[in-house]
Structure formats: C-alpha cells, structure tokens
Amino acid sequence: MSPLPEYDHVVFISIDTLRSDCIGANPHKLWPRKYPGLRAPATPALDRLAESGAFFLNTISAAPYTAASHGSLFTGHYPLRHGLYEFYNGRLGSPSIFTFGKEDGRRTILKVDFPIILGPELGFTRDVDVYLREDDDEFIEQVVDAERSVSCAHFGGVHLPYGFHNLRFGGDAYRAKVAELEAALPADLPIPTDQITETVREPEDQELFLRYKRVTNHLYATGAYDALFQLYLDGVEFFLRERFEPFLERLRARLEAVGASMLLVVFGDHGHELDADSYGHHNSLSEGVLRVPLLVSGPGIQPGRYAERVRTVDVVPTVVDLLGLDVSRHGGFDGESLADVLLGRAAPEGHRPALSQSYGADTREFVAFQRRQLRGEEPGTLRHVLLGESAHLGSRRVVAMHHRYGPEFRIVPVDEKWVESFGPDLVPVVRPDADAAELLAALDSYNATRKPAEDVPADESLRNQLRSLGYHI
C-alpha cells in the first residue's frame, strides 16, 4: 500500500445552508422539480472543485440547523452522542477535529460567521488556539503563519439574508435589495415574530436584517415559496461570486507561495427548503434540507463524483485516516472513513444508513431567551421538543414528525409518518403502503441513547464576547 500523502494544512470550509443540488456539477437536482422555472445559480468555483476532487453529492446531515450539524461535522458523532442535539441548548461534549489536530502538534483555527451559535457558549472553542469572528483575511494569515494547522472557515453568507450576511459583506447591494423587496410590500406590515439572529449586529445592520426578515416572512405567510426560493438561489450565486471564490483564491495563492500543501474539505451543514411545512430548514426533514455537498481535494485525492449516500459524521473519521492519526483512546466514531475511496483504493459500497433529527423551541420563547442572554441576564432554560426525525436505510427512508409549527410559529403536536424510496435518480417517492418497522426501529435504537441536554451556561462569557467586539453592555 502506498504511503499516505502529507498535508501541512487541513482546511474545512463550511458553507452554511448550502444544498447539494445548488451546485451546477450535481446532476441529481431536486429543487427544479419542486420549484420549476426558477433560475439556477452559477457556481463555477464549486464546479471546479467538484471536477478536480472528490464530490460526494448525496451526503446526509445529522440535523437541519447549525449547532447540531456542525457538532457532527467536527466530531464524527451523532448529536445525541456529542451533546448538541437541540436547536440552541447543550454543549459539545465529544473530542473534535481540533482536539485531534492539537494533539498532532498543529495550530487549530476556527473562524465563524455565527459566533452566537458556533462559539464558547455551546462548546465550539474547546481545543481551538485561534478563534475568529467574521474575519476572513485574518483566518488566511493564521493558516499561512502556522507550520501545520487544522482549521475551519465557517461562512454564513448563504443563510438569511440570502447572499449578504451583513452590511460589511453585503454593502450597497444588500441595501438596494432590501429597498427593492420592500417596494412590493403592503403598507404597515409589522416587525416579524421571527427575530432570531446568529451573530451580533450593529444597530443599522440589525435594522436592515429585520427589514429583510419582514419581507421574507411576508412572502412565506402568503405562500410565495417560489419567490422565496429564488431569493435563496440568487443568494448562493452572490455569496460564491463576491466572497467565497475570492477567499479561496487568496488562501490557495498564499499557501502555494510558501510551498505548503493543503487538504481542502468543503461542505454544507444543512440545506434549505420553503413550503407550508418547511420554514427554511430548522423545522424540516425534507431530503433537500438534509442532503448536503461534501467536496474533498488535495494531494493524492482522486477525482470522482459519487451518488452513494454518505453522512456528515463520516468527515472526521476520513480526515483522521488521511492524516494517519491514532485517536482510538478517545473512543470510536459513529461515522466511517472514506479515505480509501478518496485515495482510489476502493469504491463506495452502496448507501450508508443515516439518522437525522430536528429539535425545536417555540420561536417567541427563543427570541425572549436570546434577548435575555444578549443583555447578560440569567436566560433560564430554553424548552425544546423533538419536532421530527428521519432514518435512511438502503434505498428507503422514514420520516416521523412529532411536532410542527402552527400560527405565529408556536409548536403544536402531530403524529405523522411516511416512507420514501429512492431510485437511481435519487428522487424521493412517497410509498403509502410501505412497511416502516425496520426504519422506525433504527430511530428507537438511536433515541434510547438520549440524555438530558446541558443548559447553555448563564455566566459572563457572552457579555465578554460582546465587549470584545466593541459592544458596551
């Protein structure tokens, strides 16, 4: 067996909210069937990565929201094991890729666009040497300055407000888009109930963000799902063109200039979908929300496009094997390595089983919780319930919904189950008479491992974080 390639730097790039089928190089697209006639985004930077490296286009996320999904992407464990299964509660308890990188003598770097979620409150900064907030340039400097590193650059640009993230990155294009959208609104629309935010914003930025949400909430309330999804697709293109592609070009050029090698791992954490039962992603288990891209490139990585199902929990076991690390003392992974596939030593062996769950909180309660937290007050406990869950086995999956969002985003109980099957085109087809027993048993087995989530710590950490950003509270 040939020796493993050597990588000076392992760079994860997380594109939050990116569906796999937004990428032009993905032939198995679901969204045009649901939203016919919309304009597809141009994705040349990702298309080039898909052609030059390995593209796993059927990667299933463990959860449809940022904290739980990144917990699995960073640890190789499902959320019930790593501890961050709820939407905004718990704490990352499993060793992460940063743990393994640090033990290997590498600098560990995490740059995030959502510091409220991917920050110290939920345990994401453990074993991270350098933690950056919305600073793409400093991330590149930290990677290049290190002799060896493991890092992740998280981008929130595809997330609402689609493409822009904030005024710093969206600029006048963001202002102009909000003005254009508001011109078509009825007069005197109220500020939306949904005021959840993922980052800290200046007053003008927060005002613009709420104005944008006012538009999108109105479109959603009136059933204008196609118009909303077109905004999402346009945002994908804007972000990739204006921020992602220049960032990747700068990173590569700087590393090439110093003769350093890089293993690049690009992924989405969850997708996005809009219909009566899917308010973006956090309350949805639709296939379009759970199916995300995984692209890997670097020395020794064999180009290939794979339709076989893999999971986000497979990412860390794969990287650990590519680095030749022995992390067995930390216990095993829930995922399995794809290293032999990436190195051309083996072909994928069919569809891997996958588990996904969505826990939610009443939106009004969550907004009030965040406000208390941002003011530095005792936030209390944020009540969560299991909204729904999904199990993929072979060419089938089951979806079980236990709660849905009702009027004004209040949670109401339901009892809904259905089975879908997948053909060679990977399109889900509902099978009303299918036997779900084996699929439901997989969910029962997984749920038996659940432990109570740890409350988000109520101390000075968030207040100090805001002070470090220049906010006086």
8 A C-beta contact, residue 150 and residue 10: yes
- Which residues lie across from 155 on neighbouring strands? 15
Task: Look at residue 237 in the predicted model and tell me its pLDDT.
Answer: 99
DSSP 286-354: -HHHHEEEEEEESTTPPPEEE-S-EEGGGHHHHHHHHTT---GGG---SS---HHHHTTS----SPPPE
Encoded amino acid at 346, one letter? A
> In what order do the strands lie in the sheet containing 354-360?
354-360, 385-393, 396-405, 411-422, 428-430
For tokens 């022995």, what's the residue? 326
Task: Look at residue 466 in the predicted model and tell me its pLDDT.
Answer: 36
- The CA distance from 99 to 86, in Å, is 23
Task: Look at residue 384 in the predicted model and tell me its pLDDT.
Answer: 86
8 A C-beta contact, residue 142 and residue 151: yes
pLDDT band for position 456 (50/70/90)? Answer: low
8 A C-beta contact, residue 374 and residue 473: yes
Q: What is the mean pLDDT of residues 451-473?
A: 48
For tokens 């040939």, what's the residue? 2
C-alpha pair distances (Å), 376 with each of 31, 368, 428: 42, 13, 45
Residue 77, Cβ density class (10 Å: 0-12 exposed, 13-18 middle, ≥19 buried): buried
Angle ∠(468,472,473) on CA atoms, nearest 5: 105
Give the CATH H-level superfamily of domain 9-159+227-342: Alkaline Phosphatase, subunit A (3.40.720.10)
Instruction: Judge whether residue 383 has pLDDT over 90.
Output: no
8 A C-beta contact, residue 333 and residue 76: yes
- Greatest alpha-carbon pair distance for the chain in Å reads 69
Task: Look at residue 472 in the predicted model and tell me its pLDDT.
Answer: 30
pLDDT band for position 455 (50/70/90)? Answer: low
pLDDT tens profile 162-207: 999 999 999 999 999 999 999 999 877 776 555 555 556 678 888 9
Task: Look at residue 203 in the predicted model and tell me its pLDDT.
Answer: 84
Percentage of the chain lying above the pLDDT 70 cut:
93
pLDDT tens profile 253-270: 999 999 999 999 999 999
Percentage of the chain lying above the pLDDT 90 cut:
79
Q: What is the mean pLDDT of residues 417-444?
A: 98
- Range(s) within the chain of domains with CATH label 3.40.720.10: 9-159+227-342
8 A C-beta contact, residue 130 and residue 237: no
- Which residues lie across from 405 on neighbouring strands? 411
Q: What average pLDDT is seen over the chain?
A: 92
Instruction: Judge whether residue 120 has pLDDT over 90.
Output: yes
pLDDT tens profile 18-64: 999 999 999 999 999 999 999 999 999 999 999 999 999 999 999 99
- The CA distance from 248 to 243, in Å, is 9
pLDDT tens profile 306-361: 999 999 999 999 999 999 999 999 999 999 999 999 999 999 999 999 999 999 88
Task: Look at residue 361 in the predicted model and tell me its pLDDT.
Answer: 80
More confident: 89 or 108: 108
Determine the length of the chain. 473
In terms of C-beta distances under 8 Å and separation of at least 24 residues, what long-range contacts does 412-417 make, across chains too? none
Q: What is the mean pLDDT of residues 203-230?
A: 93
pLDDT band for position 454 (50/70/90)? Answer: confident
Task: Look at residue 366 in the predicted model and tell me its pLDDT.
Answer: 73
Instruction: Report the b/e string of 34-54 with b at 16+ CB within 10 A.
Output: bbeebeebebebbbebbeebb
More confident: 191 or 71: 71
Q: What is the mean pLDDT of residues 385-414?
A: 92
C-alpha pair distances (Å), 199 with each of 56, 150, 216, 374, 462: 30, 24, 19, 11, 12
Region of residue 324 (phi > 0: left; psi between -120 and 50: alpha; otherwise: beta): left
Q: What is the mean pLDDT of residues 116-133?
A: 96
pLDDT band for position 287 (50/70/90)? Answer: very high
Region of residue 344 (phi > 0: left; psi between -120 and 50: alpha; otherwise: beta): left
User: Which of helix, strand or coil describes residue 138?
Assistant: helix
Instruction: Judge whether residue 465 has pLDDT over 60.
Output: no
Instruction: Judge whether residue 437 has pLDDT over 70.
Output: yes
pTM of the model: 0.91
Q: What is the mean pLDDT of residues 267-289?
A: 95
Task: Look at residue 457 in the predicted model and tell me its pLDDT.
Answer: 54
